[in-house]
Amino acid sequence: MNKNESGIFKLGLILLIFTGISALMLSLVYSITRPIIEENDLKKEKENISIILPRVQSFDKEGDRYRIYSDKMKRNLIGYVFKTEAKGYGGPVVCQVGIDLFGQVTGVVVSSHSETPGLGSKIEEKKKGQAEPYFLLQFKKKTKDQIEGDIQALTGATISSKAVINCVKEAFKKYLAIRK
C-alpha cells in the first residue's frame, strides 16, 4: 500500500467510526423519545375524541377505531371514532371521524397533514368566533349518501378537500362493516 492509499483508508475508517457512533446516538435518542411521542399522540387522540363526540365518558380502542360510551360503565354505546388516511396534495391527510349509531357524522378532526400553508392547510382554518374549522363543520350530521354532493370544496385546495372527503368515506366503509 502506498502512502496515498493509506491516507484514503484512514479517512474511510474515521468516517465509518463517526457514522457508526452517530447511528448509535440516533437510535438511543429515538428509543428514549419514542414512548413520549406515543404518549403525546394518544393524549391528542383522546382530546380529539372529546371534540368529535362531546358526550364521551369512556371509550375502548380496537385497532384504528374507538367505541365511544356516554357512561363510565361502558354500557351505553353512542358511536365510533375512526382513524383514516387519504392522499392529499402534500402527502397523507390523517383524520379522526366520529359516526353515531344513526349513521351520521358527529365531527371530523384532521390529526395531521403536510398540505401547503395558506392553501391546503385551510382544511383546518377556523373563522373568527368559531371553535371548529369551517370546512370540517360541513360534515356534521351528514350521512354516507350526503357526503359527496353536500360538501363544498375549498377554493384553491380541491385536492386537500377531496382528501378529507375520502377520509370520511373510508370511515363510513369501516362503520358499515361493523354495523352489519
DSSP character at residue 71: S
Q: Give me the mean pLDDT over the 60-87 stretch.
A: 90
Q: Given phi > 0 = left and psi -120 to 50 = alpha, else beta, which region is 76?
A: beta
Q: Give me the mean pLDDT over the 61-70 stretch.
A: 87
pTM of the model: 0.79
Residue 1 has pLDDT above 80, yes or no: no
* Sequence-distant (≥ 6) Cβ neighbours of residue 106 within 8 angstroms: 52, 53, 79, 98, 99, 100, 140
Task: Note the pLDDT of residue 172.
Answer: 96
Please tell me which residue, 147 or 28, carries the higher pLDDT value: 28
User: Within 10 A of 67 (CB to CB), how many other CB atoms are there?
Assistant: 16
Residues 105-121 have pLDDT tens digits of: 999 999 989 888 888 88
